[in-house]
Structure 1
Amino acid sequence: MNYEEKVKKYAELVVKVGLNVQPGQRVVLNADIDAIDFVRELTRASYAAGAKEVIQKLSDGPSLQMKYEHAPIDVFETVEQYRIDETNAYVAERIANLKIYSQTPELLKQADPAKIAASAKALGEANRDYARAVGRYDFTWSIVAFPNTAWAELVFPDLKGEEARMKLLDEMIKAVRVDQEDPVEAWRLHNEKLNEKARVLTDKGYDKLHYKSERTDVEIGLNKGHIWLGASAVNADGVEIQVNMPTEEVFTSPDFRRVNGVIGNTRPLSYNSAIIDDFKLTFKDGVVTDFEAGQGYEVLKNMLDSDDGARRLGEIALVPDDSPISNSGVLFYNTLYDENASCHVALGRSFPNAIADGKSLSKEELTARGMNSSIIHVDFMIGGPDLSIDGVKEDGTSEPVFRNGNWVI
């Protein structure tokens, strides 16, 4: 395929599988101007699928850098009501929402960490209702990526310019199965495989998981009635969607009160366009009581201080080391891709649908069942070829789930 064919086929897959656009539906595309080729093909494919309207919301990375350099901190501490109303309208009107990552993960490398923290906190607080709707799949949403040159040169430092960008695009379309003859059918089979693994784990009903590797030694308690989830999701209208493309994970939400031990990252974390790396978190009774970081310490500190729930876990996800993105050997410096090369956990809010009847429970009821509440949800990677995981039952007996980074069940 040439460039135009790749972009067109990628866009068609996202519209058909990721968003699963329905006739008469509105679609909003959130992207950087560096992804304009992709945005146009997504627009074309959405209308071809019967979309009533496609709304493009474009941003510009260098302009955002200028904002962080020159705007006073109070600009980052508030979110205007019209922006809150707009995101809430996505839910109320069932507007399909696509987020396209396309800027370099180091975009805000030189930005003031206090401004990054202020923006993250303000947006998190303003979008509490929206975030809850996202976690409940009350409307259609999906996240994908498209390369820009600076990002590609970070991933492939030996390449420059358009050569680097095309190389990153090739790796992206392989990761989302666009390189296969029938990507839609490939995703159907992939979903079946992951959903079956999720059913097996749910049936096991473990009380907790014990993770052990060179950088991690932690026990993570699981909620009674917890549910493991696979690749696809079903929104409030009964439409199957694919919220992350790519995805190789099965996941659930742990009991935020029962996490004890040390968790160390195995891949860099890009958080709000700043890199955090070589970090470890110490948990006691579910709370991060100590932490360290070789890079991005202040960014990590500010993230952990977002609110009380930011120091607790809201997700655990299992991904074998023998998976397509891991086997590619590419470090994307982007969580959407890197989390699908590695087992990972997330600080912050839980998924209501990861527990029996969770979508019908109030916030207080969810908390009582061990589900975390927070304005953040930040995944980071902890897996690798030396990771072992044991499933521990209520009677204390255990059995292997992962050995040498891969499934054994």
Structure 2
Amino acid sequence: MTYEEKVKKYAELVVKVGLNIQQGQKLMISADIDAIDFVRAVTKAAYDKGAVDVIQKLTDGPSSQLKYEYAPVETFTEVHDYQKAEIDQHLTERVAHLRIYSQSPELLKDADPDKIAANATAIGELNKDFARAVGRFDFSWCIVAFPNIAWAELVFPELKGEEARMKLLDAMIAAVRADQPDPIKAWEEHNSNLNSRAQLLTEKGFDRLHYKSERTDVEIGLNQRHIWMGASAVNADGVEIQVNMPTEEVFTSPDFRRVNGVIGNTRPLSYNSAIIDDFKLTFKDGSVVDFEAGKGYEVLKNMLATDDGAKRLGEIALVPDDSPISNSGILYYNTLFDENASCHVALGRSFPGALQNGKELSKEELEAYGLNQSLIHVDFMIGGPDLSIEGIHEDGSKEFIFKDGNWVI
């Protein structure tokens, strides 16, 4: 395929499978200007599918760097009424949302960690109602990526410029199955496999899981009413959507109160365009009581200080080491891709849909069941070829879910 054909095919897959745009729907696209080719292709595909309005919210990486360099820290704490009003209107109208990652994961590596923390807190506060609606799948939403040169050169340091960007684009297209003869059918089969795996785990009804590897030794409790979820979701209008492309995971939200032990990362974490790596978190009775980091210590420290929920788990996700992105050998430095090469967990906000009737419960009721509440939701990777996971039943009996990094059930 030519570059134009690749971009068009990728865009059509996102619109038809990821967002599953319906006749008469509105769509908001948030992206960096480096992804403008893809933004235009998605816009065209959305109108072709029946969208009545496609709204574009574009940012510019270098301009963001200038803001972090020159603007005072107080600027990053500001939340404006017009921003809240826009979110409220979008929630009322159930506007579909597409987020396109395209900037380098190291865009803000030299930025003041205090400004990064202030911005993260302000954005979290601004988006708290939006984030809750996201977790309930009140509307269609999807997260994808499109490469820029700086990101591509980080992933493929032996290449430069457009050569690197095209190689990263090809890798992304393969990861989302857009390179296959019938991508839509490929996703139907993929969804079926992951959803079947999720149903099996739900039926197992484990009380807790024990993770063990060279970097991790932790026990994570599960609620009696927990539900494992697969690749696709169904929004409030009964429309099936694909919220992450790519995805290889089945996931649930744990009982955050019952987490004890040590969890260490196995891939770098890009948080607000700054890298955190070689870190470990020690949990006691559900909260982080100690931590260390070889890189990005201050960024990690500030992230954990966002609120009480930032020190607790909101998600656990299972991904075999023998998965397409892992087998590609590519380190993307981006959670959207790297989390689908490895088992991962998330600090922060849980998913109401991971609990029976959870979408109908208030934040207070969810927390009473052990589902964490927070302004953040940050996934990081903990899997690898040496990870084992045992499922433990209430009576103490055990069975392996993972051995040597892969499924055994």
- Residue 307 of structure 1: CA displacement? 0.2
Q: Which amino acid aligns with 2:283?
A: F
CA deviations on 1:88-139 (whole Å, 9 max, x unpaired) are 2221101110000000000001100000000000111121111100000001
CA distance in 2, matches of 1:185, 1:85: 39
Residues in 2 aligned to 1:9 and 1:205: alpha-carbon distance in whole angstroms: 40
Residue in 1 that maps onto 2:53: 53
> Scaled by the length of structure 2, what TM-score is found?
1.00
Q: How far apart are residue 17 of structure 1 and its match? A: 0.3
User: 1:318 & 1:6 partners in 2: Cα distance?
Assistant: 30
1:234 and 2:219 matched? no
Which structure 1 residue ranges, 5 or more long, are not aligned?
none
Q: Which amino acid aligns with 2:141?
A: W
Structure 2, gaps ≥5 residues long: none
Alignment of 1:279-298 (within 5 A): 279-298=279-298
Amino acid at match of 2:405: G
Q: Does 1:330 pair with 2:330?
A: yes
Q: SS at 1:24's partner residue?
A: coil
Task: Give the match for residue 273 of structure 1.
Answer: 273
Alignment size in residue pairs: 409
Aligned to 2:370: 370
Matched residue type, 2:296? G
Distance 1:134 1:155 in 2: 30
Cα deviation 1:209-252 (Å, max 9, x = unaligned) = 00000000000000111000000000001000000000000000
Alignment of 1:350 with 2:350, yes or no, is: yes
- 1:353 Cα deviation after fit: 0.7
Q: Is the 8 A contact 1:19 1:241 kept in 2?
A: yes
2:100 and 2:41 mapped to 1: Cα distance? 13
SS state at 1:294 partner? strand
**1:75-224 correspondence to structure 2 within 5 Å:** 75-224=75-224
Match of 2:392 in 1: 392
Q: 2 CA distance for matches of 1:34 and 1:378?
A: 24
Query: TM-score, structure 1 length as denominator?
Result: 1.00
Residues 90 and 139 of structure 1 are in contact (CA less than 8 Å); yes or no, is this contact kept in structure 2? no
Q: CA deviation at 1:87?
A: 2.0
Distance in 2 between residues matched to 1:334 and 1:22, nearest whole Å = 30
Equivalence for 1:11: 11
Q: Distance in 1 between the 2:53 and 2:364 partners?
A: 38
In structure 2, the residue matched to 1:251 is: 251
Q: Deviations over 1:260-309 (max 9, x none)?
A: 00000000000000000000000000000000000000000000000000
| 1:73 alignment counterpart | 73
Residues 5-44 of structure 1 deviation map (CA, whole Å, 9 limit, x = unaligned): 0000000000000000001101111110000100111011
What is the CA–CA distance in structure 1 between the aligned matches of 2:376 and 2:44, rounded to whole Å? 33
Match of 2:318 in 1: 318
Q: Structure 2 counterpart of 1:179, which letter?
A: D
User: Is residue 138–residue 235 contact of structure 1 (8 Å, CA) maintained in 2?
Assistant: yes
Give SS of 2:198's match. Answer: helix
SS in 2 for 1:76: helix
The Cα offsets for residues 137-177 of structure 1, whole Å up to 9 and x where unpaired, read as 00111000000000000000000000000000000000000
State how far apart, in whole Å, the 2-side matches of 1:319 and 1:399 are: 18
More off after superposition, 142-151 vs 86-95: 86-95
Cα displacement string for residues 336-369 of structure 1 (whole angstroms, at most 9, x for unaligned residues):
0000000000000110010011011111111111
Alpha-carbon distance between aligned partners in 1 of 2:318 and 2:363, rounded to the nearest angstrom: 26
- Name the amino acid aligned to 1:368: A
* Structure 2 residue aligned with 1:260: 260
Q: Which of 83-92 and 93-102 deviates more?
A: 83-92
Question: Distance in 1 between the 2:74 and 2:245 partners?
Answer: 35
Deviation at 1:56, TM superposition (A): 1.0
Q: How many Å separate the matches in 2 of 1:169 and 1:216?
A: 33
Rounded Cα–Cα distance in structure 2 between residues aligned with 1:89 and 1:325: 37
Distance, in Å, in 2 between the alignment partners of 1:79 and 1:107 is: 23
Residue identity matched to 1:136: R
